[in-house]
Amino acid sequence: MDIKSLIPFGRPTALARGAETDPFTAMRREMDRVFEDFTRDWSLPGTYAGASGFLSPKVNVAETEKGIEITAELPGIDEKDIDLDLADGVLTLKAEHRAEKEEKDEKRQYHLVERSYGTFMRRFALPFEPDAEKITAGFDKGVLKVEVPRSPEAEPKGKKITVNGH
């Protein structure tokens, strides 16, 4: 059997150049590549996929001298669809994305309606008692920025401990 007959038409590979001698290894590599190409644009629930409806925006959490700063990228989400909540030392960020698109063309006789919906929820356990009255949130150009300051009563009161040798 001619090994080159196993290579898909128009697809030069190492096998065609004679570098690969095992046709099953070459076939396995080709099948892996086909499945990777086929599923490349699929997103699992929990990854951001644009119009597919699944949301998991990128979120950065940074601890500052004053408290915690959270930045979340929420492209395509309206400010009214964002919900922030603080309860029992946990900050909850919820967002909902809704998009609907409709196209018609009587001359070309087609009608297209696309809808996508997605929700996102992320919870952040705060490592300190927050000053709930001073939490601020701003939303600009698809980026949400939340600043959670520490409560003045929760400021760490450290004590120097001396270590004695035996």
> Do 127 and 55 belong together in one domain?
yes
Instruction: Return the structure tokens found at 91.
Output: 């900050």
> Do 73 and 25 belong together in one domain?
no
* Residue 55 pLDDT class (50, 70, 90 cuts): low
> Do 24 and 72 belong together in one domain?
no
- 44 in a structural domain: no
Residue 38: predicted pLDDT: 67
Residue 44: predicted pLDDT: 41
Give yes or no for residue 123 having a pLDDT over 70. Answer: yes
Spatial contact of 81 and 98, defined as CB atoms under 8 Å apart: yes
> Do 32 and 67 belong together in one domain?
no
State the Cα–Cα distance between residues 44 and 48, nearest whole angstrom.
9
Instruction: Return the structure tokens found at 135.
Output: 């939490």
This prediction's pTM:
0.55
Residue 115: predicted pLDDT: 78
> Do 56 and 130 belong together in one domain?
yes
Domain span including residue 32: 3-39
Residue 134: predicted pLDDT: 93
Give yes or no for residue 1 having a pLDDT over 70. Answer: no
Q: What is the DSSP string of 24-67?
A: HHHHHHHHHHHHHHHHTT---TTS--GGGS-----EEEEE-SSE
What is the Cβ-side half-sphere exposure of residue 43, based on CA atoms within 13 angstroms?
A: 14
State the Cα–Cα distance between residues 57 and 73, nearest whole angstrom.
6
Question: Average pLDDT over the chain, rounded to whole?
Answer: 78
| Domain CATH for 64 | 2.60.40.790
